[in-house]
Amino acid sequence: MTVMHHNGYEAIVEFDEEAELFHGEVINLRDVITFQGNSAHELKQAFAASVEDYLAFCAERGEEPEKPFSGQFVVRADPSQHRAFSSAAKREGVSLNKWVTMTLQRAVS
């Protein structure tokens, strides 16, 4: 799997052996934006065109396009996990929010 970027939008790309085609999908928003191409050059062009088409479509409808993630999300945990997370954050001398982001960053690194 390959990751591509265009104007703040992030997409993953996979190769379909049967169709002999690269297929991509924007992953950092809830709206669905897909694209495809036969070569790396074509794939890059299709990605940029799909993002620009999405932005134009939103403008035509008078809607704000969804922006890549805002940086805020809700985490639900059972009370005993919440207590354990909060205690771990206090032991490290950081807020629960900071502890969660640090822990998640370690998980994706």
33 Cβ contact partners less than 8 Å away, ≥ 6 residues apart: 9, 11, 25, 26, 50, 51, 54
What is the pLDDT averaged over residues 55-75?
86
Give yes or no for residue 71 having a pLDDT over 80: no
Please provide the DSSP assignment of 4-48 as one string. EEETTEEEEEEEETTTTEEEEEE-SSSS--EEEESSHHHHHHHHH
Q: Is the pLDDT at 52 greater than 80, yes or no? A: yes
Predicted pLDDT at 91: 95
What pLDDT does 16 receive? Answer: 93
Segment 15-34 mean pLDDT:
93
Mean pLDDT of all residues in the chain?
92
pTM for the whole structure = 0.65
